Every structure is written in structure tokens, then in C-alpha cells.
Amino acid sequence: MRRTSALSLTGVVLLAFSLAAQSPAPLDPAVIARVRDEATVRSQAHDHVWWLSEVYGPRVTGTPAFAQASEWAMKQFTAWGLANVHQERWAFGQGWTIERFSATMTAPQPAVLIGAPRNFSPSTAGPVASDVVHVKAATEADLAAYRGTLRGKIVVMQPVRAVRMLEGPVILRMDDGPWWTEAATPQEPQPQTAPPPAALEAARVRQQFAAAVQKFLVDEGVAVLLERGSDGDTAAGGSDLTWRTQMTDGGTIFPTGGGSRDPNAPKQVPSATLAVEHYNRLVRLIARGIPVRMEVEIKTAFHAEGAQPNGINTIAEIPGTDLAHEVVIMGAHLDGVPYATGATDNATGSAAMMEALRVIQALKLKPRRTIRVALWGGEEQGLLGSRAYVAAHYWDADARRPKPDHANVAAYFNLDNGTGRIRGVWGQANKGALPILEKWGEPLKALGWKMASPRSVGATDHASFDQAGLPGFQFIQERLEYNSRSHHSNMDTFDRVQKEDVEQQGAVAAVFAWQAANWPEKLPRKPANER
């Protein structure tokens, strides 16, 4: 009896040592140091960005390049020894690829113009050589004055936009100043209210007129529509923050939509966005009565959705040990827009989240909870990939209730704001989680970590989880040139990626993944009335 007890005790001790070796304390400085060292000294994050942007960019959902990027990521996951490597597909619609574009003014003087086809624009019938006509119309009645005069013409419709000298925070760093003060101010959840009737009516009128313009241009046989982008003085994006940065212009273009992923949508005229400086010249010449001629060619390809849906989410994981049924998800959107290679939006975020799992796997660490990486498609069209994933696994939208696995999500962390280093995490007004997030950031102070902000933000994939009552968070990044130059522009290339910052992103993501996977409890969730 005594001998049996001694053996049992020895077995218990050995088991305890074994479990301790597999599951070190989440804030064990030695483990954190190993994770940080692997993610910085031996980082592969910058190389991941190179492959995703240089070889597979642009990675537009529903295109061959996106599918190839997903396959490449799965090969990496398999080579690293990750488990459950697979794709999850969902209905997206048709994909779209730019194959060729050129725009040249041929009179009054030859000039090669900078531009790109608008998203989902159809092709021209080969090169189009024609006069440029400025159509000035604010109502459908104004359009009627041009009836019968536009067949085969190249049309512009916007006025000149002023190009200002660069001033203000073109490069945005988050070390000091009013941004950080604002970020540290708690933002309580606000009740959602419907827009006022006047705003809804104004939006309806704008949409109706835009549709009427396209139908008129198609019916009149216009060959090409050229535009110069938004009238605003900011680049798109960053809608959750109070600060803005100005457009850099200087050949940076931010194309808009020129069609639809729905193959049954109304027909559109082939269209392109020109650099504002080049567009302005066309309009000024026409205003002085000087004839302008151009040659434009747009060649694009549409990729129909067949029996296998075009939407792809790419998934892999490190299995957990005693809490394997619970999961920490590290996510970023893999897709981009078609005008450059999607280096900072969002090859950097995807690379960092890939790197987080590579680091933990390379160190042969055994997390208590399963750590999963998810690379989303369709973010650029409205968080479609992450919404599809949440709907498939965690939230029954029809019944408005959680699915069984909803309870097993310990945390979701997202990265999607460019190439800048991580300075903290947006806490989504989750008062219970904030002290824990602060504690997890403490070992990262040497890497530039500052704080967990209580502020709520949206507009990227963590919102799909947050809105379903799951603890979803977005990391805070230095924006650098993201809003002023690279976000959704023709300048989002590998050249804009900051190597050391991307390596820091991977290190922060790895440390957070490890701590979330080994913390005694899942992160607290917000009360239902605060979601």
C-alpha cells in the first residue's frame, strides 16, 4: 500500500512537472523573452510580406492571385507543422483583375497620364482615340442637353480640385500629442440611432442620380469616363478616429468603384481614375476652349463564381492541451484592392499574424488553448470573410443567438492599419478586459508598447466578432503614410513597408497569442446592452 502510494505520488509529481513544462505561466519572463527573441532576431515577417505583395499582389478576392496567395500561405503553415490547415469558402460574386491600362493625351501636346481603372470597370473595345468632353450636370435635366453628342467620346464630369502644398501630419506617429490624449479618453458605447430623414433622403437622391448618370452614359455610347477621385481632403479610411491626414497627391491616386461584383448589376461605362494634377489639366484646357484628344485603353478580366465559391478564408492552428476546445484567434485580411500590391493593406497584418504562429511553433511551446490564424477574404467589400466565418461558427443571425462554439472563443485579435509598429490595443469599451490587456502589454514596453485604450473602433474584421458579443480587438498602430499615401492607392507597394516595424508587429502578436492562450480565464465579455 505504501509503495503504491509512493509510486502514485511520484507519478503526480512527474505529471505536474510535465504540465508545467508544457504550460509555463503566461507572464513568465523567460518564455516571453524566448518568444520576443525568435520574433525579432529570427523574424520571417518581412519575407512573408515580400511574397504576399511582390509575387501575389494585388490579392483581390475572387481572383487567381488571391487563390494563389491562400495556397502559398497554406504551404507555409504545413511546412511549419501547423494543424487543421484548410480553406473555408463562401459566396462572394465575380472577381476582377486589371490586365492593361494606358492613358495618353495626344493634343494639344503629347502627355502620358497617371491613372488606374476604377474597381470592376469593364474593358474598352481596344484603344480608344477620341475627343475629351466635359459634361457639366447636377440633375437629370442637365444631362439631357448632351443627348446625341457623346457617342465614342471620352467624358470627364468633375470640376478642377485644388492641389494644396503639403502641410500638416502627412506622416503620423503616435508617440505624443493630442492623438494619444484622445485615445486615452474612455468612449462609452453610444446607442445606435437611425440617420435623420433628411440625410437618408439626400443619400437616396445622390444614389439615384449616380445610377441615372451611368445609364445615360451607357445609352449615349460614351467610350470612357475619367475622374479624379474624391472631393475630400483626406484619404479614405480611419473613420473611427478623430484625426485626419491630408492627401499627398503627387501621382498618388485613390480610385473609386466603377462596377460591381454582382454579374447582374446594371452595365457601366469603362472608367478610370487619373492623378488629380493630370485630370485638372484636361479640364482647364477644355475650359479655355482648347480641344483635347486622348488615347485610352482599359483591359480587365472578370472571374465568374462557379460551383466552388470565390470567397476564401485561410485557416490553420496550433492545437491546445488541457483547454484545446477553447480558441484564441489571430486574424488579418489577406485581400486587397487592385491598384498596387496591397503591401501595407494588408500583407503586413497577414504576415504578422502568420509570424505569431510560426514563432510559437518554432519554439515548440504547447499552449493550453488552441491558437488559430485566420486570413480573411472580402474585407474590402465589407468584412465579408470574417462575417461569414462568425456566421458559420459562432452566431445564428436568423435566430439572433449564439451557436455552441460561441462560448469557447477566448479572444480575437486583428491587425489591419498599415506598416507602422503596434503601440497598443483598442479595448472596445470592454471594462473587464482592459486591466488584463494592460498586463499583457507590460512585457512589450521595450518594443514600443504604450497602452490598452478603452476606445471602441470599427471598420475592420474585429468588428465581426465584437458585434456578435465576442471579445474582439484591433491593435493600435502608427499610421505613418497609411492614410495620406498608401491606403487604397496605387502607391501601396513593398517599398512603403518598414521592416523593423513589421518585425515588431509579429513579436507583439506572438506574445499576445501566447498569453491569451495560457491565461487562467478567457477574456471577459461586454454586457449584452453594451455591444
**CATH class of the domain defined by 23-93+309-530:** alpha beta
Angstrom distance (rounded) from CA 523 to CA 136: 56
Q: Crossing angle for the helix pair 499-518 and 434-441, nearest 10 degrees?
A: 130
Strands 323-333 and 422-426: unpaired
Tell me the pLDDT of the chain (531 aa) as tens digits. 333 333 333 343 343 334 444 444 456 889 999 999 999 999 999 999 999 999 999 999 999 999 999 999 999 999 999 999 999 999 999 999 999 999 999 999 999 999 999 999 999 999 999 999 999 999 999 999 999 999 999 999 999 998 887 766 667 777 655 555 455 555 555 555 667 888 888 888 888 999 999 999 999 999 999 999 876 543 333 333 333 445 678 888 888 888 899 999 999 999 999 999 999 999 999 999 999 999 999 999 999 999 999 999 999 999 999 999 999 999 999 999 999 999 999 999 999 999 999 999 999 999 999 999 999 999 999 999 999 999 999 999 999 999 999 999 999 999 998 999 999 999 999 999 999 999 999 999 999 999 999 999 999 999 999 999 999 999 999 988 887 788 889 999 999 999 999 999 999 999 999 999 999 999 999 976 555
Other Cβ atoms less than 10 A from the Cβ of 530: the count is: 14
Angstrom distance (rounded) from CA 499 to CA 287: 47
DSSP SS3 for 119: strand
b/e per residue, 164-193, with b = 16+ CB within 10 A? eeeeeeeebebeeeebbeebeeebeeeeee
Q: Where do we find the cell 477644355?
A: 286
Burial of residue 364 (number of CB atoms within 10 Å: 0-12, 13-18, 19+)? exposed
Angstrom distance (rounded) from CA 441 to CA 433: 12
Q: What is the pLDDT of residue 8?
A: 38
Q: Which amino acid is at 418?
A: G
Looking at the domain 97-190+208-303, which fold is it?
A: Glucose Oxidase; domain 1 (3.50.30)
SS3 string of 288-350? CCCCCEEEEEEEEEEECCCCCCCEEEEEEEECCCCEEEEEEEEEEECCCCCCCCCHHHHHHHH
b/e per residue, 67-79, with b = 16+ CB within 10 A? bebbebbbebbee
120 touches 261 (CB < 8 A): yes
Range(s) within the chain of domains with CATH label 3.50.30.30: 97-190+208-303
Range(s) within the chain of domains with CATH label 3.40.630.10: 23-93+309-530
Angstrom distance (rounded) from CA 215 to CA 236: 27
